[in-house]
Structure 1
């Protein structure tokens, strides 16, 4: 077959773009993959062949060709002898597609504790099922017993806590991320957002002393995010919101009022600047749209 077909399949494999393909494109890619592998598999280096076979396995599952997927899975099982974890994940995907998530979860639970791929896949299934409490329990066990330095898992745990309103636990999880990534501006901004959510959720129309403390923490984290990344529009938007809410505190000391008035003005100015220079700063359309909504609230 043509080198163009090979490059197309290799590019799809590298980017996993088939996950977002339309049903029609999936069928087309599956047909090309099957034809290419049947004719050229003896000419492909082993590791590349394994990758293409793995992709074809997923293509078969995504196009509801379960019998074909099973045959490809057997070929992969016979070839991948030094990475049982990789094979286990493929088997779990097949079980999930044919017998459902409960069966896949049962299979993954039987894997050794040290099988990180299996553990992560099991938590993904729990999240997809919407079983957040069990998902959190499994993630906690993972970061406490298996991989305490897995910043991605801590970040996932933080978002799970946010989804059920457990903000102090979410803050702790994000602080664990910062241990591994102390200059992650996005994590500082997310901390600012969580502090802000906690401060405004219980009594959205007034500010208590406890809420004021949370708002100050929020502003501090937003400011740290823009200190690390001066063009980080989420950080500036957050600093604008947090400082404006602090200024609403009726008993705010004059010195603090002066401080946060200055911060609010700077944050507003920087947000407006970034909206105007969005393309040069490579800011997403989604972030720009959100920033415009926020700025509109503070125009006067």
Structure 2
């Protein structure tokens, strides 16, 4: 069984999604055309990976525009788990969203979601799809309300908290976004990507501040990026954020203040300039190492996004130009 078929299609690059879609074609052809009707299908001797592959291929086909193959995968999932299965209902709704021809068709899908929720408010996959659809239709405030209701009912739903944080960030509500991401980390404290995401939001919020408040915000962002790379070594996004935040923080930490021994609350919370400079140098070295190894196509160093690699190179080049000047 190919490993790529077990990779979630939503977390892969466009190139990987295309590869998954193509590999899925071969997988579907290799499967038996006969399936026991539900619920007799529950008695069949089969692996869980098989149906995970069907779902992954379904999502990959939707991303690549292969609606016919996606429909085939959806039919297999319906035959296996039944039309009333919550996840199958959500996947069917996702298929209808992806194939909707216009805003009116999307509105009809939304109406169906509303009816499902009226009939059974506990169908969380449908409530999540409804919130996502509202956001994609530009109804951001309604999406925020829908997600707020979700986290009120299920406060440990990290996915909904993360989506709500992204909605607030789109609105420019940094305080609310920070709160939501902190809730995510209460549920998943070792999620290095969420530490980096929180660092990014704190960095954006700090850019709107001035003076000591700005330095405080950048220092907090820096600490979040440090935690992300502590949890996941060679995490490009974490080192990128660490490099960027320390670049902005160093000019605010004058050597005179760091040597004066002042014990104000703000000064006590800020790191020393020497510490920040060392972290900046570390981020520079790690980003350079990641770029070099990725360029050489070394084994286990080929999973980085091309866009992130380009951004990291531009950051290092810009920093190098400033140093020469």
Separation in structure 2 between the aligned mates of residue 185 and residue 13 of structure 1, nearest angstrom: 22
Q: Which residue of 2 aligns with 1:130?
A: 138
Whether 1:211 and 2:214 are equivalent positions in the alignment is yes
CA displacement, residues 9-49 of structure 1 (integer Å, 9 cap, x when unaligned): xx9899779xx67xxx9xxx7xx98xx85xx4569983689
CA displacement, residues 161-220 of structure 1 (integer Å, 9 cap, x when unaligned): 1111111111111111111211111111111111111112x36xxx42221111011111
Separation in structure 2 between the aligned mates of residue 227 and residue 16 of structure 1, nearest angstrom: 27
For 1:1-300, list aligned pairs within 5 A: 37=33, 40-41=34-35, 46=41, 62-63=67-68, 80=82, 83-86=84-87, 88-89=89-90, 92=93, 100-110=105-115, 111=117, 112-145=120-153, 147-200=154-207, 202=208, 207-249=210-252, 253-254=257-258, 256-278=272-294, 279-280=298-299, 282=301, 283-286=303-306, 287-299=308-320, 300=323
Q: 1:277 to 1:87 in 2, by over 3 A?
A: closer
Q: TM-score, normalised by structure 1?
A: 0.72
Aligned residues, how many?
A: 274
Separation in structure 2 between the aligned mates of residue 269 and residue 53 of structure 1, nearest angstrom: 42
Q: CA deviation at 1:95?
A: 6.6
Indicate conservation of the 8 Å contact 2:110/2:130, yes or no.
Answer: yes
Indicate conservation of the 8 Å contact 1:85/1:118, yes or no.
Answer: yes
Separation in structure 1 between the aligned mates of residue 234 and residue 159 of structure 2, nearest angstrom: 24
Runs of at least 4 residues off by over 6 Å: 11-17, 42-45, 51-56
Indicate conservation of the 8 Å contact 1:274/1:281, yes or no.
Answer: no
Indicate conservation of the 8 Å contact 2:162/2:181, yes or no.
Answer: yes
Q: CA deviation at 1:258?
A: 2.2
Q: 1:218 to 1:93 in 2, by over 3 A?
A: closer
Q: Which residue of 2 aligns with 1:4?
A: none
CA displacement, residues 103-132 of structure 1 (integer Å, 9 cap, x when unaligned): 222222232211112111211211221211
Indicate conservation of the 8 Å contact 1:219/1:243, yes or no.
Answer: yes
Separation in structure 1 between the aligned mates of residue 180 and residue 37 of structure 2, nearest angstrom: 48
CA RMSD of aligned residues (A): 4.4
Q: TM-score, normalised by structure 2?
A: 0.67
Indicate conservation of the 8 Å contact 1:93/1:104, yes or no.
Answer: no
Structure 1: give runs of 5+ residues left out of the alignment: 1-6
Structure 2: give runs of 5+ residues left out of the alignment: 11-16, 260-271
Secondary structure in 2 matching 1:296: helix
Q: 1:107 to 1:267 in 2, by over 3 A?
A: same
Q: CA deviation at 1:267?
A: 1.8
Separation in structure 2 between the aligned mates of residue 178 and residue 43 of structure 1, nearest angstrom: 42
Q: 1:116 to 1:236 in 2, by over 3 A?
A: same
CA displacement, residues 213-249 of structure 1 (integer Å, 9 cap, x when unaligned): 1101111111111111221122122111111211122
